[in-house]
Amino acid sequence: MQPEGIKESLKAWGAATVNRYCYSRTDRSVHVLDQARDMAPGTAEKALQALAGRDGTDRRRLMARATGIKGLHVVPQWAAEPVRATNDAGRPCDLPEIAFDQGIPDHLLWLDRAISQLARQSPLRELIVRTEYTVQASQAVKARMVQEKYGGQLSKWMYRRELERAMEWLDGRALAA
């Protein structure tokens, strides 16, 4: 493969790697809060009417009937044990999108494997190749990014030299394949 061909393949590989994960297409036209409004009573008066039976009087009436005492219609509050309840409802939020892996195109799988092999031999060069073809920035910024990830000293010139060596290795790998 020609050096121009390997560079074009690396650009295509970088674009495929960056866009590898795709979000599922969920219906984003209806917001979660719009769905909550459909379930909500609407006004404070309607909410109080809906919640009227939740103050414990129904339960205390049932307990009074179970005692069998004539004339006792409702058990007093001090005689009824409270029912523990916790508010475990969270704030309404959007459901997360589900990302799925589209994978690397078949014609670029050899390149992905070659870069993985390069990582075993020289992690720095693999990181430089990965950064060079997946990040849109100047080489000085890319060199700084690699330096932060790798942890050692790396100038722009060292970045370029290691990129050239990695490209030579990939060229040899392409010729061997």
List strand residue ranges (DSSP E) for 95-170, in order: 99-101
- Are 19 and 37 contained in the same domain? no
Please give the model's pTM, rounded to 2 decimal places.
0.56
pLDDT at position 41: 58
Range of the domain at 144: 3-24+104-176
Tell me: the pLDDT tens digits for 116-165? 999 999 999 999 999 999 999 999 999 999 999 988 899 999 999 999 99
Q: How far apart are CA 68 and CA 63, in angstroms?
A: 9
* Nearest in space to 67 (alpha carbons), one of 75, 57, 78, 59: 75
92 within domain boundaries: no
Same domain, 115 and 159: yes
38-48 pLDDT per residue, tens: 666 567 777 66
Residue 38 shares a structural domain with residue 13: no
